[in-house]
């Protein structure tokens, strides 16, 4: 290619307007339902709880099978040959083959099956309780990110406005219209707003990272993806009556009840072990060239130990399991009632906070800012209004988070499904 052709090619390419880069597509929204579903399906902690339940199920399946037989093969009376009588394997070796089968005929097999089955059901209850705790933690982190996002937005607006007011006050002080002390108050309030903003940003980012880790993701959740929530209405009915009905199905109560069944089965097992369990054996024996059959029964002799220590331990564990079940029932009833009362109280306070608390604080701040813009010399009312508004925003967001989280906790306590 000639030099002129290269110059024309470069000029032509330079004259072609560059296509503007397409703006990146916004990330898809992430609702609380999506987070709860993700926590239930793919969270590492949920997989761990399911694995422990599977281990208990495998133990129960193993206990339903009879003990394995024991096979043995041995050679006896090995005689050496001589010149006069050479070694003959058919007559100089005694071969014995036996098969022994333990027989749990006195109730030990059924007791073991009952114990492991109860422990498997208890493991299932534990897994359900861990799933419930995982859902609550996922919801708490989601709401923490959402709260942090809104709080950071409000604090950033306050900081920016205070920065503008500081610049205005510096001009007034330079012109002699305002005292320098008022300027120092505004600067201190701006720095305070900056500190609050930094703290809220750190809390938001920490919650976003923890939420991603809980969901098994490597990058923090983008706060912009989250959807604003409204507290769900709390369940109706008397808290104490609802708590008594729901307490029996709570995971801790189910676990304690199945642990009691396992303790009863363990006591039956220890009592059954007082009687010796026989073991039948049958086999083949070749002696001196003759083929014979073997049959026998083996019984341990309980001369020195009738399993008294095992029965005493199992009896003590049974008493402890009974006490634990009673404590779990009382604690579950109190916990469910407390969750219901908290859900109703927070729902009422959150509904009133936005209209009575936040609206009043925003109105007072707007008036203070307007007065400052019109040349009012008093700075303290403005500083107080900014602080009160920041606290009102924080308190309103906290009440909203508490209302949503307590409503979710109450629904879980009543056995209602929260994962769509």
> Which distant-in-sequence residues (6+ apart) come within 8 Å of 335 by Cβ?
243, 250, 413
CA 219 – CA 207 distance, rounded (Å): 12
pLDDT score at 107: 79
Examine the pLDDT at 13 and tell me if it is beyond 60.
no
Examine the pLDDT at 25 and tell me if it is beyond 50.
yes
pLDDT score at 208: 94
| Range list of H helices, 108-237 | 108-175, 180-214
Counting residues of the chain whose pLDDT is more than 90, the rounded percentage is 34
pLDDT score at 316: 95
CA 365 – CA 233 distance, rounded (Å): 32
Name the residue with higher pLDDT: 265 or 89. Answer: 265
**How buried is residue 274: exposed, middle or buried, by Cβ count under 10 Å (0-12/13-18/19+)?**
middle
Examine the pLDDT at 147 and tell me if it is beyond 50.
yes
- pLDDT, mean of residues 200-210: 95
What's 293's DSSP letter?
Answer: E
Give the model confidence (pLDDT) of 157-181 as tens digits.
999 998 998 888 888 888 888 788 8
C-alpha triplet 363, 368, 374: angle, nearest 5°: 125
Contact 36, 139 (CB under 8 A): yes
Name the residue with higher pLDDT: 267 or 418. Answer: 267
Give the full edge-to-edge strand order of the sheet including 279-287: 70-76, 94-102, 279-287, 290-298
pLDDT score at 95: 83
Tell me the average pLDDT of the chain.
Answer: 84
Examine the pLDDT at 220 and tell me if it is beyond 70.
yes
CA 155 – CA 385 distance, rounded (Å): 13
CA 53 – CA 255 distance, rounded (Å): 12
Could you give all domains of the chain from N- to C-terminal order, each with its CATH number?
A: 28-79+86-413 (1.20.1600.10)
In the structure, what pLDDT confidence band is assigned to residue 109 with cuts at 50, 70 and 90? confident
Examine the pLDDT at 327 and tell me if it is beyond 90.
yes
> Which distant-in-sequence residues (6+ apart) come within 8 Å of 202 by Cβ?
none
- Tell me the torsion sign for CA atoms 403, 405, 407, 409: negative
CA 200 – CA 194 distance, rounded (Å): 10
**How buried is residue 97: exposed, middle or buried, by Cβ count under 10 Å (0-12/13-18/19+)?**
middle
Nearest Cα to 379, choosing from 170, 152, 196?
170
Q: Which has the minimum average pLDDT: 44-48, 203-207, 208-212?
A: 44-48
In the structure, what pLDDT confidence band is assigned to residue 90 with cuts at 50, 70 and 90? low
pLDDT score at 10: 37
Contact 46, 40 (CB under 8 A): yes
Give the model confidence (pLDDT) of 382-405 as tens digits.
888 889 999 999 999 999 999 999
């Amino acid at each position: 290619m000639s030099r002129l052709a290269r110059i024309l090619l470069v000029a032509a390419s330079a004259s072609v307007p560059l296509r503007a880069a397409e703006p990146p597509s916004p990330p898809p929204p992430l609702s609380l339902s999506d987070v709860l579903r993700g926590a239930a399906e793919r969270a590492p902690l949920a997989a761990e709880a399911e694995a422990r339940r599977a281990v208990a199920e495998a133990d129960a399946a193993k206990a339903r099978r009879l003990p394995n037989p024991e096979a043995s093969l041995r050679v006896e009376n090995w005689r050496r040959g001589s010149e006069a009588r050479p070694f003959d394997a058919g007559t100089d070796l005694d071969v014995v083959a036996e098969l022994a089968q333990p027989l749990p005929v006195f109730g030990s097999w059924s007791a073991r099956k009952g114990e492991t089955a109860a422990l498997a059901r208890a493991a299932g209850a534990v897994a359900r309780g861990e799933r419930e705790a995982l859902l609550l933690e996922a919801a708490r982190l989601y709401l923490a990110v959402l709260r942090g996002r809104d709080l950071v937005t409000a604090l950033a607006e306050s900081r920016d406005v205070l920065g503008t007011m500081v610049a205005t006050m510096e001009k007034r002080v330079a012109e002699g219209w305002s005292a320098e002390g008022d300027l120092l108050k505004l600067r201190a309030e701006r720095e305070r707003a900056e500190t609050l903003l930094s703290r809220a940003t750190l809390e938001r980012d920490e919650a976003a990272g923890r939420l991603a880790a809980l969901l098994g993701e490597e990058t923090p959740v983008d706060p912009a993806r989250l959807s604003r929530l409204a507290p769900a209405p709390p369940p109706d009915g008397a808290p104490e009556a609802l708590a008594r009905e729901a307490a029996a199905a709570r995971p801790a109560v189910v676990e304690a009840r199945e642990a009691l069944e396992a303790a009863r089965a363990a006591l039956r097992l220890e009592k059954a072990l007082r009687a010796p369990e026989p073991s039948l054996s049958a086999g083949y024996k070749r002696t001196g060239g003759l083929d014979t059959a073997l049959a026998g029964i083996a019984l341990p002799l309980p001369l020195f130990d009738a399993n008294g220590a095992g029965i005493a331990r199992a009896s003590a564990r049974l008493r402890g399991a009974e006490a634990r079940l009673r404590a779990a029932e009382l604690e579950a009833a109190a916990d469910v009632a407390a969750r219901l009362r908290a859900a109703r109280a927070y729902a009422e306070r959150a509904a009133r906070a936005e209209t009575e608390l936040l609206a009043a604080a925003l109105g007072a701040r707007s008036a203070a800012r307007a007065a400052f813009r019109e040349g009012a010399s008093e700075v303290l009312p403005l500083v107080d209004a900014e602080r009160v508004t920041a606290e009102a925003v924080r308190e309103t967001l906290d009440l909203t988070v508490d209302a949503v989280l307590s409503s979710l906790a109450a629904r879980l306590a009543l056995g209602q499904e929260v994962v769509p």
